[in-house]
Structure 1
Amino acid sequence: MNAAQDNLVRTDSRREFTVMETPTVEDGAAIWRIARDSEVLDLNSSYSYLLWCRDFAATSLVARGPGGEPIAFVTGYARPERPEALVVWQIAVDREHRGRGLAGALLDALTARVSADLGIREIETTVTPGNTASDRLFTAYAARHGARLERTVLFDGGLFPAGADHEPEVLYRIGPLTG
């Protein structure tokens, strides 16, 4: 694959391609909508998605449909205390584009880019026990890349505000990443 093709991914059996690229602030509203419509992600304010697209664009990707509209995204950041670790904050695919491997392709493309550009050598993310789709995504990612996957509870449900009835957030640490 040449450099011009690096941001393309085959997304289904009809041989359609989706462009993956750095998000812009103009993508913030669509990313917020995709997160809202996922019905599993914690929804942040619409303002935070605009900031994310401005301040953490280098560690995030958006996938675009045929008309250039965002159809999926992954957001992340390098941990200040461990700059070799990419924290994957959220990843979501618009409902009509699910089941084509787009989330895995986004994760692969993002980690390839940040490994090369920023020296990232491991991924961290949190998954609640009831989120089987995310568990499968990150477990498959680790297996595909031959990386170790460790799971530990990062935040117990009791740490969240009273009445939040929040499941524990389980830390998935995947690494080392090898190029």
Structure 2
Amino acid sequence: MSRTVTKPRTLVPRLRKPNAADGAEIWALVKSCKPLDENSMYCNLIQAEHFRDTCVVAELDGKIVGWISGHLIPAKQELFVWQVAVSPLARGLGLGKKMLSDLIERDVCEDATHLKTTITEDNDASWALFKSFARAIGGDITDSPHYERETHFDGHHDTEHMVTITLPEARALARAA
């Protein structure tokens, strides 16, 4: 007996800013994307409403299949990406990079000179995504331990490395012209 896997009909995701009504669906997506840390549904609702300008949802056939949560770091020209989630239904489409590109091209991010995120040493998928993204935009990428297992997590979570990607100056110069 063969199993049929139902995939969305549309292969071109629609990217948009989230809204509060997306909170529950975002929460379910993050929950299904191990090893991402699960936040509360309320946290995802607040992110989708209060930080919608620096967050992205991707839809295929009306279903949320991608999510980036982020925010501008106060008093700095840096965009912090908190989570990137891509549903198994949308993997292999380059959706993570498309969402990151959409995000850095938004007017609200025009003064950002760096993209920052934290990644645990063993999260191969995240390392691959952010290294590939840095190459694609011509940005330099560096990392160093930042939130440490014993100092910050009381031994309950692996050390998070702060990853910094220099955003290309050409983007800022093009907008200034």
- TM-score, structure 2 normalization: 0.86
What amino acid is aligned across from residue 169 of structure 1 in structure 2?
A: E
Instruction: State the match for 1:159 in structure 2.
Output: 151
What is the rounded CA distance, in whole Å, between the counterparts of 2:84 and 2:94 in structure 1?
12
User: Would you say 1:69 and 2:63 are equivalent positions?
Assistant: yes
Larger radius of gyration: 2
- 1:175 counterpart (143, 166, 171): 166
- 1:124 counterpart (100, 116, 120): 116
Task: Render the CA deviation track for 1:156-178: whole Å, top value 9, x for unaligned.
Answer: 111344451x1110000000333
Instruction: State the match for 2:81 in structure 1.
Output: 88
Unaligned runs of 5+ in 2: 1-8, 172-177
What is the rounded CA distance, in whole Å, between the counterparts of 2:24 and 2:111 in structure 1?
30
CA RMSD of aligned residues (A): 1.7
Task: Render the CA deviation track for 1:16-53: whole Å, top value 9, x for unaligned.
Answer: 32110000111111111111110111111110000001
- TM-score, structure 1 normalization: 0.85
Identity of aligned residues (%): 29
Per the alignment, in what secondary structure is the counterpart of residue 106 of structure 2?
A: helix
Instruction: State the match for 2:53 in structure 1.
Output: 58
Over 3 Å counting, the alpha-carbon distance change for 1:159 and 1:137 in structure 2 is same
Task: Render the CA deviation track for 1:68-103: whole Å, top value 9, x for unaligned.
Answer: 221111110000131x10000101111221121111
Unaligned runs of 5+ in 1: 1-13
Per the alignment, in what secondary structure is the counterpart of residue 17 of structure 1?
A: coil
What is the rounded CA distance, in whole Å, between the counterparts of 1:156 and 1:73 in structure 2?
26
- 2:15 counterpart (20, 40, 49): 20
State the number of aligned residues: 162
How far is 1:15 from its partner? 7.5
Contact 2:143 2:162 in 1 (8 A): yes
User: Would you say 1:46 and 2:53 are equivalent positions?
Assistant: no
What amino acid is aligned across from residue 105 of structure 2 in structure 1?
A: A
What amino acid is aligned across from residue 44 of structure 1 in structure 2?
A: N
